[in-house]
Amino acid sequence: MHMFQPLPIELIECNPFTRFGQDWALLSAGSKTEANTMTISWGGMGVLWGKNVVFVFVRDSRYTKELIDEGGFFSLTFLEEQYRKALNFCGSHSGRTSDKMSSAGLSFDFRHSIPYVDEGSFVLLCEKLSATRLTQDSFLSPHIMEKFYADGDMHTMYVAEVIEALAR
């Protein structure tokens, strides 16, 4: 088990475009009895409703979505390049049917009962503020629906307050 230290949010130095778009993250949700993680590369961080927030987009079909919807919290774990294979694995296998954490060589830690991934280097612990399922009416360009949602597997956008950052 790795040692993580709380990191004051003002001290976080990160480029959200490369953090999400290139590094990717593991979005974890659930409890000590049932937790799951999935790879994400769409999302961001900023300020909304006077709070420091992240926003992530999770499709209907994801098992992780069920766990996000059941609870009030989730985490984002960012990992170093050496874990790229594990990130690819967690982005292409569902925890609904297999124990993908052990197959990927990863393990959960918990803080405030929120699961996060021990092998990470930077973690954001988040409390859900809103959940908005995108629908055809959400898009100003019909292109988006055709290109990304032809099968109807829509994204829900979760906005969540960053309640603590951890680093090691």
Ligand X SMILES: Cc1cc2nc3c(=O)[nH]c(=O)nc-3n(C[C@H](O)[C@H](O)[C@H](O)COP(=O)(O)O)c2cc1C
Residue ranges binding ligand X (CB under 6 A): 24, 36, 38-42, 57-59, 62-64, 88, 91-96
Residue 39 C-beta: closest distance to ligand X, Å: 4
Complex with ligand X: residue 94 or 138, whichever CB lies closer: 94
Complex with ligand X: residue 95 or 109, whichever CB lies closer: 95
Beta bridge mates, 2: none
Residue 98 C-beta: closest distance to ligand X, Å: 9
Contacts of 162 (CB under 8 A, 6+ apart): 9, 45, 51, 52, 53, 54, 124, 125, 126
Closest chain position to ligand X (CB): 91
Complex with ligand X: residue 62 or 122, whichever CB lies closer: 62
Complex with ligand X: residue 88 or 135, whichever CB lies closer: 88
How far apart, in whole angstroms, are the C-alpha atoms of residue 29 and residue 38?
9
Of the candidates 137, 130, 139, 136, the residue with the CA atom closest to the CA atom of residue 159: 130
Residue 41 C-beta: closest distance to ligand X, Å: 4
Residue 10 C-beta: closest distance to ligand X, Å: 27
Of the candidates 137, 140, 135, the residue with the CA atom closest to the CA atom of residue 153: 135
Q: Is 36 left (phi over 0), alpha (psi -120 to 50) or beta?
A: beta
Residue type (1 letter), 25: A
How far apart, in whole angstroms, are the C-alpha atoms of residue 13 and residue 16?
9
Residue tagged 């790229």 (tokens):
84
Residue 151 C-beta: closest distance to ligand X, Å: 13
Complex with ligand X: residue 57 or 110, whichever CB lies closer: 57
